[in-house]
Amino acid sequence: MASMSVDSKAQVASIFEQLLSLRESVNALRDIEEGSATLRGQQTMDVDGAFDLVFEKLQDNIASMEEALATLAEATGDVPKF
């Protein structure tokens, strides 16, 4: 098992922080867009459903990146296995 250098560990921590920030930004955008949709009104269920799916997909993709990074960190000994 390879061991991560201090620089690698710091980079992994930085990426996790960036992913958290990205998740929060996506949530903020969703909140803004939901407010705008309410003001626009007259959205059909299909539009609302598509809107929800887009944000769900964004969150799923962020989760996939977090999982991949955690796998890398575990494989290199940076974090304990879950």
pLDDT tens figures, 44-60: 557 778 888 999 999 99
Confidence of residue 39 (pLDDT cuts 50, 70, 90): low
pLDDT score at 1: 47
In angstroms, how far is CA 66 from the centroid of its own chain? 7
C-alpha 21/C-alpha 2 separation (Å) is 29
State the pTM of this model: 0.76
In the chain, domain spans: 13-75
